[in-house]
Amino acid sequence: MIDYTVVAPAPALRRAVGPYVGYAERVAAPLVRREVAVSRCVLVIGWGAALDVHDPRGAAGGATAVTSFAAGLSGSYVDTVNAPGVAEGIQVMLDPLVAARILGRPFGEVADQVVAVDQLDGGTLRDVRALPARLAAASGWEARFALLDRVFGARLAATPEPDPRLSGAWQRLRQTGGAVPVEALAAEAGWSRRHLGAVFRRELGLPPKVLARLVRFERARRQSGRAGADGWAAIAADAGYYDQAHLIRDFRAFSGSTPTRLPAPAMSA
């Protein structure tokens, strides 16, 4: 059984930080979940029963017995295994460029990885490292969400904005649903295609083409509710896919499932 409490962050943070999702879950036996790839940083700050994160490709980016962690961008899905017991915490989706400022490192450094919050280094991050204990001790969800507002607001106020050429290219990629050609992104930024790729890998963790595919996958998944009426071929075309076969390929890569078997997202990515 799981209970959710969902609220928006403080108005000043809403362009940078997704909704706060507070949760309390009781698990009687190990629970396995499939978590699809997303174009956001998944930040979980929790306490109580821990979970394991497994990369199906056998990569070294998983984690064991974690309660609070940040997940970097990945070209694949992961499986999580919740330990029996009661787990509580808050999950929030962060734009990767915002996550880099909160976590104190280029987001490319955590690509295909799960980084425990208590392993974040640097003296300026002590407030972030202290969040699990402080949230657990707070008196209710309202106080917990207010604490996140303060810590996130302070981190963003103390860190510089990203290079506007990078943030502009990333937002353009998202706004077009991954449809803008890489050559056009590079030209708009005033960079070569090679330099754009290097910057994306360093600051976001994935090359532009993979990120474009991931954004298209998310767009198609958000539209999956109308598949019964319009068909997957129409969704593939609307999401910018060459054909339905390419859509199916990306669903398998990013979710480990076919479009017809993957549930629509509960909340927008």
For residue range 8-54, what is the model confidence (pLDDT) as tens digits? 999 999 988 999 999 999 999 999 999 999 999 999 999 999 999 98
Task: Say how many C-beta atoms besides its own lie within 10 A of residue 188's C-beta.
Answer: 14
| CA 29, 27, 120, 173 torsion-angle sign | positive
Ranges 117-121, 160-164, 179-183, 187-191: which has the least confidence: 117-121
* Domains detected in the chain: 2-158 (2.60.120.10), 164-255 (1.10.10.60)
- The confidence band for 186, taking pLDDT boundaries of 50, 70 and 90, is very high
Q: pTM to 2 decimals?
A: 0.91
Helix ranges (H only) for the chain are 96-103, 126-129, 131-137, 141-158, 164-175, 182-189, 193-203, 208-222, 227-230, 232-238, 244-255
Query: CA–CA separation, 57 vs 55, rounded Å?
Result: 5
Q: Looking at residue 139, what is its pLDDT?
A: 94
pLDDT, tens only, 23-33: 999 999 999 99
Q: Helix 208-222 crosses helix 164-175 at what angle (to 10 degrees)?
A: 40
Q: Percentage of the chain surpassing pLDDT 70?
A: 96
Indicate the residue type of 81.
Answer: V
Instruction: Tell me which residue has tokens 């974040």.
Output: 120
